[in-house]
Structure 1
Amino acid sequence: MTQVAQQTIAASDLPERGQPLAGGTFLTRYWLNGEECALVLLDDELSGAWGEYGLDVPGAKSYSDGQANTRAMAEAGSEIAIKALELDAHVPSCLEGQLVMAAKADGLVTLREDRFHWLSTQYSADFAYSMDFEGGWLYTYDVKHYERVVRPVRSLPIQ
Structure 2
Amino acid sequence: MNAQQQLTPPAIGEVWPGQGGIYGGLRQYPEGLCHIIFAAEDIGRHAYGDYGVSVEAVSRTDGRANTAILIAREGKHPAAIAASGYNADGHKNFYLPSIGELHHGWQYAPESFSEEWYYLSSTQYSAHYAYYMDFEDGWLSDYGKDLERLVRPVRRFLQ
TM-score higher than 0.5 here?
A: yes
1:13 aligned partner: 8
Percent identity over the alignment? 33
| 1:93 paired to 2:98 | yes
Gaps of 5+ in 2: 87-91
SS in 1 for 2:97: coil
1:38-93: CA deviations, max 9, x gaps?
111102323210012111111x1101000111111122221221121112311111
Gaps of 5+ in 1: 1-8
Amino acid at match of 1:48: H
> How far 1:29 moved relative to its partner?
0.5
Deviates more, 1:110-119 or 1:131-140: 110-119
Preserved contact between residue 62 and residue 98 of structure 2 (Cα < 8 Å): yes
SS in 2 for 1:82: helix
SS in 1 for 2:104: helix
1:102 aligned partner: 107
> How far 1:147 moved relative to its partner?
0.7
If the length of structure 2 is used for normalisation, what is the TM-score? 0.83
If the length of structure 1 is used for normalisation, what is the TM-score? 0.83
> How far 1:111 moved relative to its partner?
1.4
Deviates more, 1:70-79 or 1:112-121: 70-79
Match runs of 1:1-159 below 5 Å: 13-21=8-16, 22-46=19-43, 47-58=45-56, 60-76=57-73, 77-87=76-86, 88=92, 89-105=94-110, 109-140=111-142, 142-158=143-159
For 2:77 and 2:112, locate their aligned partners in 1 and report how far apart those are by CA, in whole Å.
26
> How far 1:34 moved relative to its partner?
4.9
Q: How many residue pairs were aligned?
A: 145
1:80-130: CA deviations, max 9, x gaps?
21121112311111110111001234xxx3311111110111011111100
1:5 aligned partner: none
Amino acid at match of 1:110: S
For 2:127 and 2:25, locate their aligned partners in 1 and report how far apart those are by CA, in whole Å.
31
Preserved contact between residue 29 and residue 36 of structure 1 (Cα < 8 Å): yes
Amino acid at match of 2:99: C
Deviates more, 1:15-24 or 1:115-124: 15-24
